[in-house]
Each structure stands twice: as structure tokens, then as C-alpha cells.
Amino acid sequence: MSDLVEELLAAGRGLAASGMSPGTSGNVSVRVGDEVHLSASGTSLATLTAEQMARTTLDGTPVTEGDGPTPRPTKEWPLHLAMYARDPEYRCVVHLHSPSAVAASCLAPWREHTAFAPVTPYVVMRVGNVPLVRYAAPGDPAQAERVRGSALRFHGALLQNHGSIAAGRTVAEAVDRAVEIEEAARVRLLLGDRLDARLLTDDEVRELVEAYGQPWG
């Protein structure tokens, strides 16, 4: 078993234990060479095993092992492949139905480039832009095409009325971004539509972007 897959399984258990992947919701993947290892359809991140990992090529062709194909991948596999297509350095994608991100995905975004106003430094430091991707039914290739074809730079997004997706060059980076999106969503919900909430100034945001290098605007 690849070390990346082993790391992913451990990360999945951690996400489930923290309440960010209830039941069989959410799915994860890693890129190993020219293959993508994805959690299989109907699996729980709390109990996911190496035997429950599906494998495809980068164009979605199932990988055959022994006498037949590996398990059927999550129906969200087009979304995972769309994220890998955006950046050849990505090695992990995390898609969650975490409660705050789901709730925030039902609200109007702050700006076109990001759903979240910069009320704290952290989403700017750790993720950058978090756009709201227009709704499509789970597994619909149309949503994957919106992600793949977006000209906006981003490492994570909210999927309208659905949840979140995040990618990274390592498993830890992708998971950290998914967690930060959930925290930013929670803060968004706590603040509601308060008009007196202080936002970071343009200069303060610019300083963070220059220091941490995440995409913004």
C-alpha cells in the first residue's frame, strides 16, 4: 500500500472523528503517479480501508487489478479529477459535507472570488479564494466542468447547497484547507448579516497574501 494512501486513511478517520464527515458522506483521494486512488462508493471515512479504495487513471478510466477492476469509486470522482487537472502538483483532494460548510454553501457569497469576507486572517493565510461553485446534483459532470474550467485561482471551494472541496500538494495540506474552510464557514454563520462586523482592510489582506502566497481576488 502506498504511504500516501495510508496517510489518507488516517486523515479520513480524523475527519470523521471530528464530525466533519457524518455517515457515508464525504470522499477523499490521492494521486499516486498517473493514478488516482479514491474512496469507494458508499464507504465511511471512519472505517475506510485500503481494500475500499478505487483506482482510476487521470482521465477516469478504471484501473484493473488481478481478475477485474478495483471497487467502484465515489460518484464524485469527476470532481476529484477536475481538481487534479487544475494543478499538477496536487496530490490530495478532500470533499466534505461538514455542517457549517454545507450551511454556508446555501448563502450568497461575499464576492465572486470568495464566499467568505476576510473577517479573520486565517482563511486568507491558509486557503485564499474560496469561490461558490454553482449547484449541480452530486456526481453531475457539469459541476466538475465548472471547477475544471474556472479561470479563478483557488485551492478550495464551496459547492452550492452541497459542501466543500479542497486540494493540496500533500494530504496534510488538503486536510488543513478543508478544516479551515469549515472554520471560516462557522464564523460566517456566527456573524450572520451583522453590518458592524469589522473586516480586514485591503492593506491587511495584501500583507497576508504577500506573506503566505495564497490566491486572493
Label residues 131-146 b or e (16+ Cβ within 10 Å = b).
bbbeebeeeeeebbeb
Cβ-count burial of 16 within 10 angstroms (0-12 exposed, 13-18 middle, 19+ buried)? buried
pTM exceeding the 0.75 threshold for the entire prediction = yes
pLDDT digits (tens, 9 = 90+) for 153-190: 999 999 999 999 999 999 999 999 999 999 999 999 99
Where along the chain do its domains lie?
3-212
122 assigned to active site: yes
Catalytic pick among 76, 173, 180, 182: 76
6 assigned to active site: no
pLDDT given for residue 1 in this prediction: 60
Task: Select the more confidently predicted residue: 197 or 67.
Answer: 197
For all residues of the chain together, what is the average pLDDT?
96
Catalytic pick among 7, 122, 207, 212: 122
For the domain made up of 3-212, the CATH class stated in words is alpha beta
pLDDT digits (tens, 9 = 90+) for 72-109: 999 999 999 999 999 999 999 999 999 999 999 999 99
pLDDT-above-70 percentage for the chain: 98
